[in-house]
């Protein structure tokens, strides 16, 4: 592996090495597919080449987004192009004969010609159509939906759940399949919406399905804008945004791999400039290009509510965290280290304690459930950990997760237990595998000890998983690796190391169920999707169990 290989990839490869010594021959390379985001050709009329989007639905409103190209050379990141007025409309019908809200915003080079309209005055739990116009040209017409009223007794809500979409690793078919559904209230994107790498850095050149733009690793504001622009030319991503409001948070690759407050694994100050300047550029581009309403300037932690059924606490686990330590180091237990930052952890604890909804959902960029090898019974593990300077929860695999910041996790889990807070479900991405976990109070004594919450982890849309990294056929190493992981972590009920896909979360008063769907081939732009597994947690149980079928 190269220096660009991310820690989660190193971790899953290490897992595989402990499970098997024999690998199949490397898979054959996929042919590279060219892509383009040159939007306007020779026309001088404005162009909506990057689609439209909506996000962060409220009971009375929703955030609308688009990007207009006012003239051919005003491409993303160029800084060129005149200011233009962009009109927006929201209607009850796709013919726009019953317009309920409208207005005008200005698109300028200062915001890369992106615009947002924070529309209010709409009805709760209602579907609407919206569009933009500029210079006599109309954007695509898209659908969106408002959230239920805060005090509404909602019988059920349903969300798509996705994470980790690497342009070079494959196509975004997961988005297309979610776009085709008409039963979703919104789609949650749990991070790694874009990747920062240069072409051929991840994956290696012979496995690149389609090249990045720009071709180099993105560092400057123009770079991040250009990369966001390239992503938003993807037809499946556009289809997703045209079909559903998206609720997004960031993880590390919106900045650089394994980002923390003062730097990142994939950032070299000597050649790539000041980290603070890079972060500022990445955040500016993110808020320009994403239909996200920041609640605290410069972060994505915020809270949404869906009637009396569920509230959603969205986390930012990059802006405030301490630097990662080496896996297996006892420093992960240092109470001075944090993944959330003090203010965000207090905000989360207060929100969970004061919630009056049936369910508390947490949009969580990295896994909170402990994952360790060499786990021993507590009466042996604790004295050995103290003697040898090991983590008290066992030898961690990935210290970029909550496993690297155990004091924050201990405090949060103790808060759930001490306050009697039930029905907390963590929704997680990042690790390019699908998991269904209990979140144990003490992993070493589980299942004799209690579970404080549950966690559903979705696999990647396209980013490399275990099979991709090792270039082997599915199940070559995963069966042994999964067996070893589950044996050492009894709170892990299921994991899928082989697939790419998405989840659909269905929430009722009685249960929260995640249906896991997998793609036939991420390198195929016409990939099919099929149901793989379903897991649920029943109200007040804090335990995960298998469900026989997806919710229809």
Query: Which pLDDT does position 326 carry in this prediction?
Result: 87
Given a cut of 60, whether residue 518 has pLDDT beyond it is yes
Could you tell me the pLDDT band of residue 477, with boundaries at 50, 70 and 90? confident
Query: Which pLDDT does position 386 carry in this prediction?
Result: 53
Could you tell me the pLDDT band of residue 394, with boundaries at 50, 70 and 90? low
Given a cut of 50, whether residue 5 has pLDDT beyond it is no
- Say which residue the tokens 């990445």 belong to: 282
Contact 194, 227 (CB under 8 A): yes
88-115 pLDDT per residue, tens: 999 999 999 999 999 999 999 999 999 9
- Cα→Cα distances 62→242, 287, 299, 362, 535, Å: 14, 15, 19, 20, 31
- Say which residue the tokens 């907390």 belong to: 424
Token pair listed for 99: 């317009």
Could you tell me the pLDDT band of residue 283, with boundaries at 50, 70 and 90? very high
Could you tell me the pLDDT band of residue 379, with boundaries at 50, 70 and 90? low
Under CATH, to which class is 46-148 assigned?
mainly beta
Given a cut of 90, whether residue 373 has pLDDT beyond it is no
Query: Which pLDDT does position 382 carry in this prediction?
Result: 55
- Of 186-190, 376-380, 419-423, give the lowest mean pLDDT range: 376-380
Could you tell me the pLDDT band of residue 4, with boundaries at 50, 70 and 90? very low
Q: Rg of the chain over CA atoms, in angstroms?
A: 23
What's the mean pLDDT when you consider all of the chain?
90
Distance CA(197)–CA(214), nearest Å, equals: 10
Query: Which pLDDT does position 389 carry in this prediction?
Result: 52
Query: Which pLDDT does position 32 carry in this prediction?
Result: 27
What percentage of the chain exceeds 90 in pLDDT? Answer: 80
Helix, strand, or coil here: 391? Answer: coil
What's the longest Cα–Cα distance across the chain? 74
What percentage of the chain exceeds 70 in pLDDT? Answer: 88
Given a cut of 70, whether residue 532 has pLDDT beyond it is yes
Query: Which pLDDT does position 245 carry in this prediction?
Result: 98
200-235 pLDDT per residue, tens: 999 999 999 999 999 999 999 999 999 999 999 999
Distance CA(160)–CA(232), nearest Å, equals: 19
Backbone angles phi, psi at 344, to 5 degrees: -70, -40
Helix H, strand E, coil C: the string for 501-518 is: EEEEEEEECCEEEEEEEE
Query: Which pLDDT does position 36 carry in this prediction?
Result: 37
Distance CA(536)–CA(273), nearest Å, equals: 46
pTM assigned to the model: 0.91
Treating both helix axes as pointing N-terminal to C-terminal, what angle do 275-289 and 221-231 enclose, rounded to 10 degrees?
A: 30
Where along the chain do its domains lie?
46-148, 157-547
Could you tell me the pLDDT band of residue 383, with boundaries at 50, 70 and 90? low
Strand partners, 61: 58
146-200 pLDDT per residue, tens: 999 999 999 999 999 999 999 999 999 999 999 999 999 999 999 999 999 999 9
Which superfamily is assigned to 157-547 in CATH? Answer: Alkaline phosphatase D (PhoD) (3.60.21.70)
Query: Which pLDDT does position 23 carry in this prediction?
Result: 27
Given a cut of 50, whether residue 2 has pLDDT beyond it is no
- Of 90-99, 325-334, 364-373, 495-504, give the lowest mean pLDDT range: 325-334
Given a cut of 50, whether residue 346 has pLDDT beyond it is yes
């Amino acid at each position: 592996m190269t220096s660009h290989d991310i820690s989660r990839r190193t971790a899953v490869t290490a897992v595989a090495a402990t499970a098997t010594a024999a690998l199949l021959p490397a898979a054959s390379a996929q042919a590279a597919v060219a892509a383009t985001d040159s939007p306007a050709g020779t026309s001088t009329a404005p162009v909506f080449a990057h689609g439209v989007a909506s996000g962060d639905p409220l009971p009375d409103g929703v955030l609308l987004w688009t990007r207009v190209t006012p003239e051919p050379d005003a491409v993303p990141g160029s800084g060129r192009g005149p200011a233009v007025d962009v009109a927006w409309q929201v209607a009850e019908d796709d013919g726009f004969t019953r317009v309920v809200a409208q207005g005008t915003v200005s698109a300028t080079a200062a915001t890369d010609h992106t615009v947002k309209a924070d529309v209010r005055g709409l009805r709760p739990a209602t579907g609407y159509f919206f569009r933009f116009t500029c210079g006599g040209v109309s954007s695509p017409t898209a659908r969106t939906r408002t959230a239920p009223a805060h005090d509404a007794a909602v019988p059920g809500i349903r969300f798509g759940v996705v994470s980790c979409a690497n342009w070079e690793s494959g196509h975004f078919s997961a988005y297309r399949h979610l776009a085709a559904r008409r039963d979703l209230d919104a789609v949650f994107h749990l991070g790694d919406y874009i990747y920062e790498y240069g072409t051929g850095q991840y994956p290696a050149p012979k496995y690149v399905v389609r090249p990045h733009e720009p071709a180099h690793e993105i560092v400057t504001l123009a770079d991040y804008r250009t990369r966001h622009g390239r992503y938003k030319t993807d037809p499946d991503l556009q289809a997703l945004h045209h079909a559903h409001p998206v609720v997004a948070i960031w993880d590390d690759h919106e900045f650089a791999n394994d980002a923390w407050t003062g730097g990142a694994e994939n950032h070299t100050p000597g050649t790539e400039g000041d980290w603070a300047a890079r972060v500022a550029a990445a955040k500016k581009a993110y808020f320009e290009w994403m239909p996200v309403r920041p609640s605290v300037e410069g972060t994505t932690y915020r809270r949404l509510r869906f009637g009396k059924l569920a509230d959603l606490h969205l986390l930012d686990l990059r802006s405030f965290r301490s630097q990662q330590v080496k896996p297996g180091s006892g420093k992960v237990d240092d109470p001075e280290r944090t993944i959330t930052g003090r203010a965000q952890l207090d905000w989360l604890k207060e929100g969970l304690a004061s919630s009056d909804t049936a369910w508390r959902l947490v949009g969580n960029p990295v896994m909170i459930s402990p994952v360790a090898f060499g786990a021993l019974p507590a009466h042996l593990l604790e004295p050995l950990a103290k003697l040898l300077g090991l983590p008290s929860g066992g030898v961690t695999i990935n210290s970029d997760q909550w496993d690297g910041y155990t004091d924050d996790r201990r405090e949060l889990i103790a808060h759930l237990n001490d306050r009697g807070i039930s029905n907390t479900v963590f929704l997680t991405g990042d690790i390019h595998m699908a998991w269904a976990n209990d979140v144990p109070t003490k992993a070493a004594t589980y299942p004799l000890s209690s579970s404080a919450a549950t966690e559903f982890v979705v696999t990647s849309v396209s980013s490399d998983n275990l099979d991709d990294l090792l270039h082997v056929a599915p199940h070559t190493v995963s069966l042994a690796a999964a067996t070893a992981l589950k044996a050492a972590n009894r709170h892990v009920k299921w994991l899928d190391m082989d697939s790419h896909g998405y989840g659909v979360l269905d929430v009722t008063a009685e249960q929260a169920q995640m249906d896991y769907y997998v793609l036939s081939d991420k390198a195929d732009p016409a990939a099919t999707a099929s149901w793989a597994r379903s897991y649920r947690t029943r109200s007040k149980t804090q335990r995960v169990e298998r469900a026989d079928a997806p919710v229809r």
